[in-house]
Amino acid sequence: MCWRVSWWLAPTLAWFLLASAATHAEDALSFLPDSGDANLTFYLDNDLFANEDGNYSNGVRLSWISGRRDPEEFGWLQRQLHGLTGDEQSRKLLRRLSGFDDPDQLEYSYGFSLTQLMFTPEDLLALRAPDGERPYAAWLGVDISLHVKDDRALNSISLAIGTTGKYAFGKEVQDLVHDILGYDKFQGWDSQIAGEATLNLYSTQRRRLTVIAPNEDTFAVDGFYEWRLALGNYFTGASVGGLVRFGWNLPLSFSDARLSAVAYSHQPFTAAREDVSGLSWYGIAGFLVTGVVHDITLDGPVFSRYDSEVTSRAVVAEVYAGFGVSIGRWNLSYVHTFRTKEFKGQHDAPVFGSATIGYRI
């Protein structure tokens, strides 16, 4: 059974529930070190926004990112990631690629996240995914990230540890949600991609894009273009893409429009102007093209024998569009994504929606 929820009602309902859950986020995270401008964000990807129930079925992510930090305060793991950020303590090649001109102008922050991803075929009664449909798979993981920025570039390094298989709890979470909503359950979780511990390293660089400079109470167009590298047994590949915002009273801080391994809400670049405090509203549009070397949710585990019966495509492209609203410390957004087919022989290309709610602590 497809989740028959209209495309406009679904994100509205999601925002209401997420806002209720995040009301006391600042008190709940009081144990985390904070020097101001930290951000807590909840991401929800789901194909119910497109009246579908299959392929990329659901994704949830809770992320926290600090305000500006002194690198001298970094812990051991953050110090290891520091050498990959492209600043003056990195290798010469990384420094050349980083785009940082003045090391004295750099700002540092770090983040943590918890993420669960879930994939199913479209036929919920099949004990194994039928030909042309995605195999059952789930992933659950945590990551630590380090971010370095100046007024025109942002470099992010993320180290993610997780697992596929039964300990990713895809079946349990989906069954619980279907029980609550009164929907039929998917029957084939016993055939999901085999369990494997995963370790992944992600590197992302974003460059500022300003078409019409933002000023308070005026129309503006901004955004970024980016490249990403991923290396590990969960996912290995490279991506290029970009995001554009266009609207009134654009805030300095904004969230990644969709859940990803590097998705956070924060101010991606330093800026001379003050951030806006009133109502901001804007449109969002973007694209991403990814070259895929290995995707564990399609190709199966690296270190154990398992035939997923599908082969991932070498190139996957996607476009997305939606809108965002910022009110004081709160940031809300929704985008709709259209993705090309992800594996050879796939019947239907994935379509899903992404809702985010962020709060600046």
Q: What domains are there in the chain, each with its CATH number?
A: 9-360 (2.40.128.140)
Q: Is the pLDDT of residue 327 over 70?
A: yes
User: Which string of DSSP letters, residue by residue, matches 282-346?
Assistant: EEEEEEEEEEEEEEHHHH--SSS----S--B-SEEEEEEEEEEEEETTEEEEEEEEEE---BTT-
Cα 283 versus chain centre, distance: 19
Q: What average pLDDT score do residues 85-106 get?
A: 82
Q: Is the pLDDT of residue 27 over 80?
A: no
Which burial class, exposed, middle or buried, applies to 56 when counting CB atoms under 10 A from its CB (0-12, 13-18, 19+)? Answer: buried
In the block, tokens 């970094």 appear at 74
Indicate whether 8 pLDDT > 50.
no
pLDDT, position 274: 65
Query: Quick one: which of 258, 254, 201, 202 has its CA closest to 228?
Result: 202
Tell me how far apart the alpha carbons of residues 87 and 60 are, in angstroms, rounded to a whole number. 32
Q: Which of 48-52, 109-113, 347-351, 353-357 has the lowest mean pLDDT?
A: 48-52
* E strand intervals along the chain: 39-46, 55-65, 107-120, 137-149, 153-164, 197-212, 219-232, 235-248, 254-255, 265-266, 279-295, 315-327, 330-339, 351-360
**Tens digit of each residue's pLDDT (9 = 90 or more) over 201-216:** 999 999 999 888 876 6
Q: Rounded to whole angstroms, what are the CA distances from 244 to 77, 139, 249, 262, 340?
A: 33, 30, 15, 17, 21
What does the angle CA 320 – CA 243 – CA 263 come to, to the nearest 5 degrees?
Answer: 85
Model confidence band, residue 97 (pLDDT cutoffs 50, 70, 90): confident
pLDDT at 28: 43
> Does residue 232 carry a pLDDT above 90?
yes
- Tell me what the mean pLDDT of segment 110-121 comes to: 96
Average pLDDT of the chain to the nearest whole number: 85
Give how far the C-alpha of residue 323 lies from the chain's centroid of Cα atoms, to the nearest Å: 17
What's the rounded mean pLDDT across residues 126-137?
Answer: 92
pLDDT at 20 over 80: no
Question: Residue for token digits 């690296």?
Answer: 302
pLDDT exceeds cutoff 70 at 277: no
Q: Find out whether 121 and 129 touch, Cβ atoms under 8 Å.
A: yes
pLDDT at 308 over 50: yes
- C-beta of residue 192 within 8 angstroms of C-beta of residue 171: yes
Task: Give the N- to C-terminal CA distance of the chain in Å, as an integer.
Answer: 40
Tell me what percent of the residues of the chain surpass a pLDDT of 70. 88
pLDDT in the model for residue 216 = 65
User: How far from 37 is each of 162, 299, 352, CA to CA, in Å?
Assistant: 28, 40, 31
pTM over 0.95, yes/no = no
pLDDT score recorded for residue 79: 84
- Predicted local confidence at residue 276, as pLDDT: 63
What's the pLDDT at 272?
Answer: 62
Per-residue pLDDT, averaged over 68-90, amounts to 86
Residue 292 CB coordination number (10 Å): 20
Among 16-30, 98-112, 120-134, 247-261, the range with the most confident prediction by mean pLDDT is 120-134
